[in-house]
Amino acid sequence: NVNPMPKEEGLDHTLSFAREGYMYIPNRRHSFNSNIFETRLLGKKAICMGGKEAAELFYDNEKFMRQGAAPNRVLQTLFGAKGVQTLDGTEHKHRKEMFMSLMSHERIEQLIILLRKEWESTVTRWEGMNEVVLYEEVKEILCRVACEWAGVPIQEDEIKSRSKEFGSLFESVAAIGPNHWLGRTARNNIEKWIIGLVEEVRNQELESTENTALHQFSWHRDLEGNLLDAEVAAVEVVNIIRPIIAISIFINFTALAIHQFPEAKAKLQSSGEKYTEMFIQEVRRFYPFFPLVAARVKKDFIWNGYTFDAGTLTLLDLYGTNHDPTIWDNPGLFNPDRFSEWEGSPFSFIPQGGGDYLTGHRCAGEWITVEVMKAVVDQLINRMEYNVPEQDLSFSLVSMPSMPASKFVINHVKST
């Protein structure tokens, strides 16, 4: 049985997407009363879908591929060219193994030790400041930590400008005009810098530590036994450093949640690690970050009566799946307790993508993200005091990536 897919009529809806942002797909899933619909975006036919079943379909490697899925503006800023995000099949799996080899318990613990050290010395500096813009400051902390962990040498006087450049890679994806071009320039600068380091490692001009990303990626061999192009190795090193710095966005929302939900804050103060973890999961579910992921239909197939033609751009609704009322009770309520008896699912809770880490495209850094957020909650709750002055804490469901308008300002900081 073949059914026509609900379809948004018209030549192109890129403007509606720009206008509605995170709510573009959820709004239409609601109004079509369908988890799947067809539209046109960036001049092309596109299928949009969301919910647990759709996520399961989307992560079926027989049905979808990533080749040619990411729009150029994303490749030029966020992703970089020829990185792991654009690969399929055995080539993807081999490259992904390279990433996941960095994600051992011991290596993540080392990252957290670096983070705690940096955070604590930065709090001492914050004590002398009238006002701390948390988002900007945390980007700098994470830039130091991420570079050191990745084996990338960086001088203290470069931290400000490099953390701005890395930041603009994820701040500029959806931007139009000058901010978008700032992102492209930043990518060129950063890649040039890291390509130089890869070459120095290969020429033995720079001593690199065995288990770091810079070392591993410089010496990684592809399935034919060749080293990666220096450009590609650099793109992948950036694929480690950039997203670690991007955790600053979740950290800003973590601080916002601690401020706005005093009941949850009290429980963080009195309960143990289990509650901290539930709280973090709820931050990752509740607040907007990545709106969607994109793939293309690999070969023709029919699913639930709907026809998928090879090559069709297909978007999976991450934000809407995390707010899907058939999965989550009162999805608009911030409620960490919902995770107390949650059984886990690779397809219904997908702030960092779904499916499997090795065979699929699920975020390589999800464990790092959770551990970093846990350590930061401990710092904010147990190791410092601060005041949150009047400011505009509203955040938008349109502009991407979203964050509180004020970027979360604190003052009267004291370490405890």
* Cβ closest to ligand HEM, residue 57 vs residue 368: 368
Interacting residues toward ligand HEM by CB under 6 A: 84-85, 96, 99, 239-240, 243-244, 246-247, 250, 289-290, 293, 351-353, 361-365, 368-369
Nearest approach in angstroms of CB 293 to ligand HEM is 4
Nearest approach in angstroms of CB 66 to ligand HEM is 7
Nearest approach in angstroms of CB 127 to ligand HEM is 27
* Cβ closest to ligand HEM, residue 171 vs residue 413: 171
* Cβ closest to ligand HEM, residue 240 vs residue 255: 240
* Cβ closest to ligand HEM, residue 85 vs residue 163: 85
Q: Report the DSSP pairing between strands 313-317 and 44-49.
A: parallel
Residue nearest to ligand HEM according to CB distances in the complex:
365
Nearest approach in angstroms of CB 401 to ligand HEM is 9
* Cβ closest to ligand HEM, residue 253 vs residue 386: 253
* Cβ closest to ligand HEM, residue 373 vs residue 413: 373
* Cβ closest to ligand HEM, residue 47 vs residue 363: 363
Nearest approach in angstroms of CB 246 to ligand HEM is 4
Nearest approach in angstroms of CB 404 to ligand HEM is 16
Nearest approach in angstroms of CB 187 to ligand HEM is 16
